[in-house]
Structure 1
Amino acid sequence: MERKTHILVIPYPVQGHINPMLQFSKRLATKGARVTLVATSTIRNSMQALQGASSVNIEIISDGSEGDETVESLIATVDRFKDVVSQSLAEYIEKLNSSKYPPKFIVYDCALPWTLDVARKYGIDGAPFYTQSCAVNVVYYHFKKGTVRLPLEEPTVSLPSMPKLAINDLSSLLSNPSSYPPLLNLFLDQFSNFLEAKWIFFSSFKELELEVVNWMASQKWPIKTIGPTIPSMYLDKRLEDDKEYGLHLFKPDVDACIKWLDTKETNSVIYTSFGSLASLGEEQMQELTWGLKNSNCYFLWVVRETEQKKLPTNFLQETVEKGLVISWCSQLEVLAHKAIGCFMTHCGWNSTLEALSLGVPMVAMPQWTDQPTNAKFIADVWKVGVRIKLDERGIATKEEIEFCIREVIEEERGKEMRMNSVKWKELAKEAMDEGGSSDKNIEEFVAELVGL
């Protein structure tokens, strides 16, 4: 079948945005569209070989970088990024317009709202893709609209369709607005023109955030939940060879992890990872090492190479019987392993969705941006985990870490969390399977585009 309907998909160049948008691209391709993922040059040098995404074309356009930018420098140069990518994208669309497959539509990262203006200059329509939860985005929307103002005067915030949110349940950019003003502006600007789009895509699934999704629909948002955006082999298994995201900015050490896990009993290992960006302070790192050690459980801990110098001397030798520390791993493969009893996580949205989709209860230790809100939902709404309480210095102590791990792994409450986790796992799979809520949304979108 010749794929005539050509869709461009352009993510913000960080791993947590690329992965879900690449998965969405694969799903669009299975519905008969021709899909090109337009990456920008920031990730060129750190991009490992793209595998398992042969259904998606990959094109790299310039963003003015030399391919070695950090997220911090990306945020600091957000205006330059916009200027250069607008120009590069316009040139790329012009080139495609005189080819056999001119683009019919562009799905763009919500952090790049100006993409819609570029597309419309060429008579192409577009839709934003939101890489954070529906709940987090609704909170940002209320701040953008002025329903809630900074600085906050009350200890809690009440918003329609949401549980009451304490200050420490809000994005760190809202609870501490002076921490990263350029990033806060980036998140609030996501809503600058979003209602001009015909569709708004969310990396979530309807059943998971039903009240929030219904509220959005009641506000006439043209919302389509299309997740969980994780490889098909962990969900509906309908996409052949879709076992991994296919795009790595870090090199995982797969064999060492799985061989080690194969020697452990079911539900006996704590998997600990704080994602590709979070950086823990030295004191926090010390408390975490002691908390893991004192829990007396087996642990698999991802500590990026840049962070490993913070580990206490002799820690690796002292815990060789109980722990394995690695610089990166294939998180999906690890979470799917029967030995994993809980996931100690920073609560990034992709990690949260992966744990929910694989039925793994969590110990929530949020660091910044959207993570505190995700932690609130993990503990109090979906009831699939516990949230670590910080002391007056903002530190998670070794006693608190040990207590939370034991609660999930050993206590009665842990069994309840595990049962809830299995329930969400089934609902995640149903959403992506044939006729499920997310599958139908993707199907309807492509069918309507083909008919245009």
Structure 2
Amino acid sequence: MAPKKPEHVVVMAFPYGTHAMPLFNLARRLAIQAPTLTFSFFSTSKSNQSVFGTSNNIPSNIKPYNVDDGESFTGHPKDEVYSFLKSMAEKYKNRIHSVYGDDDMMIKCLISDTFLYFGGDMADQMGVPWISFWVGGSCSLSAHYHTDLIRRSITLGPNGIEGRGEELMDFIPGLSFVRIGDLPEGVLFGGLESEFALMLHKMGLALSRAAAVTMNSFAELDLPALEHLKSKLVKCLPLGPFTLTSQSPSHIHDDPHGCLTWLDEQKPTSVAYISYGTMTTPPPDELVALAEGLEESGVPFLWSLKDHLASQLPDGFLERTSKRGFIIPWTPQQRVLGHNAVGVFMTHCGWSSVMESITAGIPMICRPFFGDQRINCRMVSDVWGIGTRIKDGVFTKDGTMECLNLIFSNEKLRGKVGALRGFAKHAVGPEGSSTKNFNTLVEIVCKD
């Protein structure tokens, strides 16, 4: 009798932004749970280097494979992403075929970032289940799933959403607090014929084909939207927060600029931590207004700001605030948020940052920019009540001071985020909802 061929799970990551690492963390958990399976992780060489080159304790049954990322770009990062989108389906199919040839019998499951909507077609051709992984929350996913319904229900005039941004999306269960202006670009406005918007539309249409749609969230966070999605999808499985279930990359423990030592010297819950992620930066006039508000408020602050942007701050700001402010180009964010000196997180509301803030029990001041950040901001400020948004969506000196004063004088916000933190910890506990969902996912992946 011939020996049984080893069985493989194909994992396809979206190689830009903060997409690859959460999917890798999920693959690592699955690889530990299913040691007889080999997990083949496909992404670009740059993405794989950032994931595998900074991670420790990688199971031996995860293997990285590089997908061609096309021509080199030195201009705006968006140009590189849009170029990749045009041929990404072909790139992944070609690379996977180069690894497996025509022997699909070795592959028993395909997992892909939800952006990679063509994973459903590939899984069908292989005769295996397709698992879709969404890096965000259930409300933004629901908006993309319901794109066609939203477009049929809301007809915009020649001025776009002008004058209609505050209208509620109350015709979709779970989105009754969301306003038209909170929607991600590509649903109702924002270059609907762009490569990115077309990808998002195809993604929304493909979701119902997945054997399971998984996400970095937890059931108790957003039950109405989640329950509605569960009624539409084969399985909808929140597995997070990943900050509580995944081993951190080794570099996360580094503190090259000494910010944790600086925090040790500050009073408990006194510091404003400011960071706007890897893809966004407030425009120069807002950087100035934010700096002026910080200076006038007298609040101690730790600011993660790239070196080349510090030159845009007001003259003399660094010197005048040197005794209570610390500006550095990079921080180990999870550890910063977990430090007892931090009292508020000023954030763009990227989903990973929101999850990290909740699991640390830190209220937020939100200044969203694009994508799901506006919906996330709406949930933080109006639904969960664990933070506030910058007035009119842009930093002003007075607006910054008002938000800081609100957070540091309102213990209700801190109490609400503390309660959510408790729900998050329970979700990943032995009897928690995320743990049970992960066990369901393992059954799908390992099913003979």
Structure 2 length normalisation: TM-score?
A: 0.88
In the alignment, which residue of structure 1 is the partner of 2:176? Answer: 163
Q: 1:328 aligns with which of 327, 330, 346?
A: 330
SS at match of 1:215: helix
Matches within 5 A, 1:182-261: 182-232=195-245, 242=247, 244-246=248-250, 253-254=255-256, 256-261=258-263
SS at match of 2:220: coil
In the alignment, which residue of structure 1 is the partner of 2:288? Answer: 286
SS at match of 2:205: coil
Q: 1:418 to 1:352 in 2, by over 3 A?
A: same
Gaps of 5+ in 2: none
In the alignment, which residue of structure 1 is the partner of 2:94? Answer: 87
Alignment check: 8 A CA contact 1:150 1:174 kept: no
Offset from partner CA, 1:377-399 (integer Å, 9 cap, x none): 00111110011112xxx632110
CA separation in 2, counterparts of 1:202 and 1:298?
A: 35
Superposition deviation, residue 53 in structure 1? 4.1
Q: 2:429 aligns with which of 425, 428, 433?
A: 433
AA at the equivalent of 2:101: E
Cα RMSD, aligned residues only: 2.8
In the alignment, which residue of structure 2 is the partner of 1:131? Answer: 135
In the alignment, which residue of structure 2 is the partner of 1:419? Answer: 415
Q: 1:254 to 1:106 in 2, by over 3 A?
A: farther
Superposition deviation, residue 374 in structure 1? 0.4
Superposition deviation, residue 317 in structure 1? 1.9
CA separation in 1, counterparts of 2:126 and 2:441?
A: 21
Matches within 5 A, 1:142-157: 142-145=146-149, 146-149=151-154, 151=156, 154=164, 155-156=166-167, 157=169
Alignment check: 8 A CA contact 1:433 1:439 kept: yes
Q: How many aligned positions are there?
A: 431
CA separation in 1, counterparts of 2:202 and 2:192?
A: 17
Between 269-278 and 22-31, the greater mean CA deviation after superposition:
22-31
AA at the equivalent of 2:415: M
Q: 2:110 aligns with which of 95, 106, 115?
A: 106
In the alignment, which residue of structure 1 is the partner of 2:447? Answer: 451
In the alignment, which residue of structure 2 is the partner of 1:74? Answer: 81
CA separation in 1, counterparts of 2:418 and 2:6?
A: 40
Q: 1:47 to 1:258 in 2, by over 3 A?
A: same
Q: 1:73 to 1:110 in 2, by over 3 A?
A: same
Alignment check: 8 A CA contact 1:26 1:53 kept: no
Q: 1:449 to 1:280 in 2, by over 3 A?
A: closer
Alignment check: 8 A CA contact 1:200 1:223 kept: yes
CA separation in 1, counterparts of 2:201 and 2:187?
A: 10
In the alignment, which residue of structure 2 is the partner of 1:62? Answer: 67
Q: How high is the sequence identity, in percent, across the aligned residues?
A: 24
Between 439-448 and 198-207, the greater mean CA deviation after superposition:
439-448
Superposition deviation, residue 193 in structure 1? 2.1
SS at match of 2:369: coil
CA separation in 1, counterparts of 2:311 and 2:101?
A: 48
Matches within 5 A, 1:273-422: 273-390=275-392, 395-409=394-408, 411=409, 414-422=410-418
CA separation in 2, counterparts of 1:306 and 1:226?
A: 38
CA separation in 1, counterparts of 2:302 and 2:103?
A: 47
Offset from partner CA, 1:286-329 (integer Å, 9 cap, x none): 11111121221111111124533423333222211111111111
CA separation in 2, counterparts of 1:253 and 1:319?
A: 22
SS at match of 1:16: coil
Alignment check: 8 A CA contact 1:20 1:230 kept: no
AA at the equivalent of 1:82: A
Q: 1:444 to 1:361 in 2, by over 3 A?
A: same
Alignment check: 8 A CA contact 2:107 2:126 kept: no
In the alignment, which residue of structure 2 is the partner of 1:235? Answer: none
Q: 2:54 aligns with which of 50, 55, 75?
A: 50
AA at the equivalent of 2:435: D
AA at the equivalent of 2:275: S
SS at match of 2:42: strand
Gaps of 5+ in 1: 233-238
Q: 1:25 to 1:46 in 2, by over 3 A?
A: closer
CA separation in 1, counterparts of 2:91 and 2:232?
A: 35
Superposition deviation, residue 176 in structure 1? 4.1
CA separation in 2, counterparts of 1:44 and 1:427?
A: 33
AA at the equivalent of 1:59: P
CA separation in 2, counterparts of 1:382 and 1:53?
A: 36
Alignment check: 8 A CA contact 2:185 2:197 kept: no
CA separation in 1, counterparts of 2:267 and 2:281?
A: 31
Superposition deviation, residue 17 in structure 1? 0.8
CA separation in 2, counterparts of 1:407 and 1:356?
A: 18
